[in-house]
Amino acid sequence: MGIEIIKKFAKENNVPIMHDEGINFLMEFIKENNIKSILEIGSAIGFSSIMMANVNSNIIVDTIELDKERYDIALKNIKYFNLENRISIYNLDALDFKSNKKYDLIFIDGPKAQYNKHFHYFKNNLNENGYFIFDNINFHGMVDNPELTKNRNTKALVRKIKTFREGMLNSDYDVRYYKEIGDGIMVVSKKNSEIISLF
C-alpha cells in the first residue's frame, strides 16, 4: 500500500485532505527551511503528517485530530508507514492540547472558523525563527467572491477567513500570501526571521 491508497480512501469517503499543489508546497518549504519539528492542527487520516514526516528522517510531527474515527484511521496509517516513532497523534480538540514545546513549523489545517483563535493559542509554541502555515486562505475562491455561495453559514465562515487574512496582512508579522497556490496558502513568521522564498 502506498500513499495513493490513503488519497483514494479520502476521496471515496469525503475526507478533506490537502491537494497536490498545497502538499508539494508544504514539503518543499520544510526541505528548504530545514524544518525539524512540526505541530499540525487537523490530522484527518494522517495524509499530510505522513507526507511531512517523509521529507526527512529527522523530522518529528505532533498532530491533533478531534474526530475519533479519523484519529483511529490516522493511527493505523502512521503505523503502516512505520512512523509511530516520529509522528505522535492526539485525539483532542486543538484548544485542549497543552504543551510548552516549541516547534519550527505550526501547520494549521483544522476548522477554518478558528484560524484566529488557533493562531493566538499556539503562538507561544513557535520557535523564535519558526513559521505558521495556513491552508485554504481563499476558501475555494469565496473569500474574494462571496457571491459564489448562497449558504448563510458558508458566508459567515468566508467573512471570518477574510477578516483573519486581512488582520494578518496588516499585522506586525512577516506574512507571505501565496494566492495562486492550491486554495491559498499563508506563511507567517516573526519579523526578521528569514523565510527562504520558494518563488
Describe the crossing of helices 152-169 and 115-122 by its angle, rounded to 10 degrees.
Answer: 40
Q: Write each residue from 85 to 104 as x if it is in contact with ligand SAM (CB under 6 A), else as -, in one continuous string.
A: --------xx----------
Taking CB under 6 A as the rule, does residue 133 contact ligand SAM? no
Instruction: Please choose, out of 14-22, 53-61, 149-157, 185-193, the segment that lies near ligand SAM by the rule CB under 6 A.
Output: 14-22
> How many angstroms separate the CA atoms of 83 and 188, rounded?
28
Task: List the x/- string, 101-120, binding to ligand SAM by CB under 6 A.
Answer: --------xxx---------
Residue 42 engages ligand SAM in binding (rule: CB under 6 A):
yes
Rounded to an integer, what distance in angstroms lies between the CA atom of residue 2 and that of residue 187? 29
CB 90 within 8 A of CB 63: yes
Residue indicated by cell numbers 514545546: 101
Q: Are 38 and 109 in contact (CB under 8 A)?
A: no
Is residue 66 near ligand SAM by the rule CB under 6 A?
A: yes
Q: Which of 53, 59, 64, 89 binds ligand SAM (CB under 6 A)?
A: 64
Q: What is the CA radius of gyration of the chain?
A: 16
Of 39-47, 52-60, 162-170, 174-182, the window that binds ligand SAM (rule: CB under 6 A) is 39-47
User: Which residues are CB-contacts of 199 (< 8 A; sequence separation ≥ 6)?
Assistant: 178
Which residues contribute to the site for ligand SAM (CB under 6 A)? Answer: 16-18, 41-42, 44, 47-48, 64-67, 70, 93-94, 109-111
